Amino acid sequence: MLLSNACEYGLRAALYLASLKQEGYVPIRKISGELDISFPFLTKIFQMLTQAGLLTSYRGPNGGVALSRSADRIRLREIILAIDGPALFEECVLGLPGCGEQKPCPLHARWAVERDRIEQMFAASTLAEMADKIGSPDVRLKSLC
Amino acid sequence: MLLSNACEYGLRAALYLASLKQEGYVPIRKISGELDISFPFLTKIFQMLTQAGLLTSYRGPNGGVALSRSADRIRLREIILAIDGPALFEECVLGLPGCGEQKPCPLHARWAVERDRIEQMFAASTLAEMADKIGSPDVRLKSLC
DNA sequence: TAGATTACGGACTATAAAGTCTTAAATAAG
DNA sequence: CTTATTTAAGACTTTATAGTCCGTAATCTA
């Protein structure tokens, strides 16, 4: 699996927030209901995103979470880094520590190309851009059943 | 992590076998020693590869495992499929079941490109080709320390 | 045939990831 | 000021992956 469960949930939830195009805080309970993600687990994930500065949160009635910047200035790469860390974009495909140009594994040259492309793909994708797609009738953020 | 630990070990071990360019069976104990992989765990991984038809094994003195075909006819993709299954090449980057052209997630279009490239990369890489690189002095299949 | 060597298969344990629960702290509204 | 609502933080449980162990079967050598 490319991304951890937590990271998949975090991306989906952030895209959902961006798709609302709404001022103000959205309760985590609502998001977890909409996306079929367990509320306590999603709470933990949002805490990571809040600590990373990608979300702001507010307690109490009418509280919840909100994007800390406009959705066109948050890139998916940032969310992945906040939740899963940089491993995906740095590690050897064979798991060898220190694999790089100097001491490569046999796959390094080929994998490094794809790894960089994946990082570029996530770095080039903003929440706004991706959330826009949710307007299309078939595009979805949750399981069908 | 892109590949499971078991799969990383399986690829390294298969590349090692290919690099030996040797007729006959190689004991798992020797491979586990050379690559610093736990012997019982590597045994289990080799059983998967044997059952998938990628290796042949032989018991008793002078027994061990060997590639079931010449190394230029075994592709890394086959090893990954045998150990981790097809998930990497099929699954949605957001983990949504049934994500595809009909009912895509917002990332589908971009991810499908990279996912296919990764599959192509592994499908295009034979054990022979990759094992050849181990000839170069800096290229390695095990941790340095 | 006996003993050593090696893979096989299944049961077992350990560790990490996933997910839950509980208590506390902040805020708003009555 | 009290109560309801909501996130925060940490302990806890569950599940999946990683890794180990042990008895068995196959094979070779003496």
pLDDT digits (tens, 9 = 90+) for A45-54: 999 999 999 9
CB contact under 8 A, A5 and B114: no
Cβ of B110 under 8 Å from any chain A Cβ?
Answer: yes
Q: Which nucleotides of D are covered by protein (CB under 7 A)?
A: 4-11, 17-22, 25-29
Predicted local confidence at residue A144, as pLDDT: 80
pLDDT digits (tens, 9 = 90+) for B79-136: 999 999 999 999 999 999 999 999 999 999 999 999 999 999 999 999 999 999 999 9
* pLDDT higher than 80, residue A145: no
Predicted local confidence at residue A38, as pLDDT: 98
pLDDT digits (tens, 9 = 90+) for A67-112: 999 999 999 999 999 999 999 999 999 999 999 999 999 999 999 9
Identify whether the C-beta of residue B26 lies closer than 8 Å to the C-beta of residue B20: yes
Q: What is the mean pLDDT of residues B21-39?
A: 96
pLDDT digits (tens, 9 = 90+) for B44-57: 999 999 999 999 99
Cβ of B117 under 8 Å from any chain A Cβ?
Answer: yes
pLDDT digits (tens, 9 = 90+) for A5-16: 999 999 999 999
Distance, Å, B40 CA → D23 C1': 15
The answer to whether some atom of strand D lies closer than 7 Å to the beta carbon of A10 is no
Predicted local confidence at residue A34, as pLDDT: 97
